Amino acid sequence: MKKSAFISDLLFAFFSTFIVTLCLLRYLRLTLPASLLFAAALGVLVSAPVYLLLDKKRTKAKRKQKEDAESQKLFLQLALSSDKRNAEYFRALFTLPEFVSKNPLHFPEAKTPAQATRLPPPSGVGQCLSIEDRIEKPRENEIGKEYKLRTISGLYAIETPSALVFPVFTMRPADGDLIAEIIRVSTKKKKFLFCSDLSPEAKKLAESFCIQTEAGGKIYSLLKDFSFLPEHYEYEPTAAPAAKMERKKRLWFGKNNARAFFVGGVMLLLTSLITPFPLYYLIFGGILLSSAVLVRIFGYR
């Protein structure tokens, strides 16, 4: 939910309650100051639960929007990086002690936590800033020896004692031709494919040949669960501040908003015909109609 819609919903909840209550209290001949006070208090009481409900919904939507944006940047980075670099990146992930311990991909050769030990990382690796920083130099340790990089049929793969993982990231969804290349790899080990997206035909073909595919959100969640997402991206699209301001102006002062203002104004003016105190409805209805005319004439297309 956008901030403008969030604020407008709160204002609508407050003023709709305020106006109705004010008219009712004035009809009961309560003094104007007391009517204004009680109407405002009731408006706040009604707006408070609306605020809590919408704020929770907005927070959830903002979190999802942030994750979607970060996911897009991640897969753009992986698609523009070399296959060898991506393979080294995921090999570094697979050799994390906590990854070996939890074994989220269900590798057949999963080790116990006691076996998942390795040398401490070199200085500077703990402060990871990019994908390149996540890739540790190969060292002589037990896990590093078991997880090797191989080139098979022109594809880089991470080889474990019982599995082959092919990280192939492109701008387009993985198709059947890529699955066919993996199928042609002769091995008794379980095959995995990591990709940004997968076409329905490729997914069906992979399932037919027992190739486990991990794509899109699964890859992002896997990296996020183990705090292995890059903090900075080399290829990060940026929008000019002028373009952002232009979009906001078109959102706030778009000609398509005139219809909503006009309908709201007409409804308030019609309501003034049946209420004992039409002045408030006439004022707010006139404001909405004036806004509809101004937006329609001077607004953005």
Query: Quick check: is 234 in a domain?
Result: no
Q: Please indicate, yes or no, whether residues 90 and 218 belong to a single structural domain of this protein.
A: yes
Q: Please indicate, yes or no, whether residues 58 and 194 belong to a single structural domain of this protein.
A: no
In angstroms, what CA-CA distances link 25 with 60, 86, 119?
A: 39, 69, 76
Q: Please indicate, yes or no, whether residues 91 and 171 belong to a single structural domain of this protein.
A: yes
- Boundary (domain end) residue, out of 43, 67, 91: 67
Nearest CA among 21, 46, 43 for reference residue 280: 21
Query: Quick check: is 230 in a domain?
Result: no
Query: Quick check: is 235 in a domain?
Result: no
Domain of residue 125, CATH code: 3.40.1350
As for how many domains the chain has, the answer is 3
Query: Quick check: is 72 in a domain?
Result: no
Query: Quick check: is 231 in a domain?
Result: no
Query: Quick check: is 117 in a domain?
Result: yes
Query: Quick check: is 76 in a domain?
Result: no
- Boundary (domain end) residue, out of 200, 225, 250: 225
Q: Please indicate, yes or no, whether residues 247 and 285 belong to a single structural domain of this protein.
A: yes
Pairing of strands 155-159, 148-152: antiparallel
Q: Please indicate, yes or no, whether residues 105 and 212 belong to a single structural domain of this protein.
A: yes
Q: Please indicate, yes or no, whether residues 299 and 269 belong to a single structural domain of this protein.
A: yes
Q: Please indicate, yes or no, whether residues 149 and 205 belong to a single structural domain of this protein.
A: yes
Please report the DSSP string for 93-136 in residue order: HHT-HHHHHH-TT--TTPPPTTT---PPPPTTTTS--SHHHH-P
pTM score, whole prediction: 0.60
- At 259, phi and psi to the nearest 5? -65, -45
pLDDT, tens only, 158-187: 988 788 999 999 999 999 999 999 999 888
Neighbour tally for 128: CB within 10 Å: 19
The pair of three-digit structure tokens given for residue 259, joined into one six-digit string: 């219809």
Q: Please indicate, yes or no, whether residues 219 and 247 belong to a single structural domain of this protein.
A: no
Q: Please indicate, yes or no, whether residues 85 and 144 belong to a single structural domain of this protein.
A: yes
Per-residue pLDDT of the chain (301 residues; tens, 9 = 90+): 566 667 777 888 888 888 888 888 887 888 888 888 998 999 899 888 888 888 888 888 888 888 888 888 899 999 998 999 999 999 988 888 888 888 888 776 544 444 444 434 333 333 344 555 555 554 445 556 678 888 888 899 998 878 899 999 999 999 999 999 999 988 888 999 999 999 999 999 999 999 999 988 899 999 998 888 888 887 766 655 656 666 666 666 677 777 778 888 888 888 887 777 788 788 888 888 888 888 777 776 6
Q: Please indicate, yes or no, whether residues 126 and 173 belong to a single structural domain of this protein.
A: yes
Alpha helices in 126-196 (DSSP H): 131-134, 142-146, 176-183
State which residues form the domain around 160: 81-225
Q: Please indicate, yes or no, whether residues 176 and 129 belong to a single structural domain of this protein.
A: yes
CA count, 13 A, side-chain hemisphere, 40:
6
Q: Please indicate, yes or no, whether residues 192 and 216 belong to a single structural domain of this protein.
A: yes
